Amino acid sequence: MSPEMAKTDEEWRRQLTPEQFRVLRQKGTERAFTGKYVDAKDDGTYRCAACGAALFMSGTKFESGTGWPSFTEPAVAEAVELIKDRSHGMVRTEVVCRNCGGHLGHVFDDGPGPGGQRFCINSASLDLDTDAPPPLPGV
Ligand code: FE
> Would the pLDDT of 139 be above 60?
no
pLDDT, one tens digit per residue, over 29-88 is 999 999 999 999 999 999 999 999 999 999 999 999 999 999 999 999 999 999 999 999
Question: Which helix (H) or strand (E) is 15 found in, with range?
Answer: helix 9-15
Q: Give how many domains the chain has, as a whole number.
A: 1
Segments forming the whole domain that contains residue 94: 9-129
Classify residue 3: in a domain, yes or no. Answer: no
Classify residue 138: in a domain, yes or no. Answer: no
Q: How are the residues of the chain apportioned to helix, strand and coil, as percentages rounded to the nearest 5?
A: 20, 25, 50
Classify residue 4: in a domain, yes or no. Answer: no
Question: Interior CA angle at 22 toward 63 and 12, to 5°?
Answer: 115
What CATH number is attached to the domain comprising 63? 2.170.150.20
Classify residue 137: in a domain, yes or no. Answer: no
Classify residue 134: in a domain, yes or no. Answer: no
Distance of CA 136 from the midpoint of ligand 1 (Å): 33
Classify residue 65: in a domain, yes or no. Answer: yes
Query: Residue 124 burial by CB count (10 A; 0-12/13-18/19+): exposed, middle or buried?
Result: buried
Catalytic residue positions? 120
Write out the residues surrounding ion ligand 1, Cβ under 5 A. Answer: 48, 50-51, 53, 97, 99-100, 102
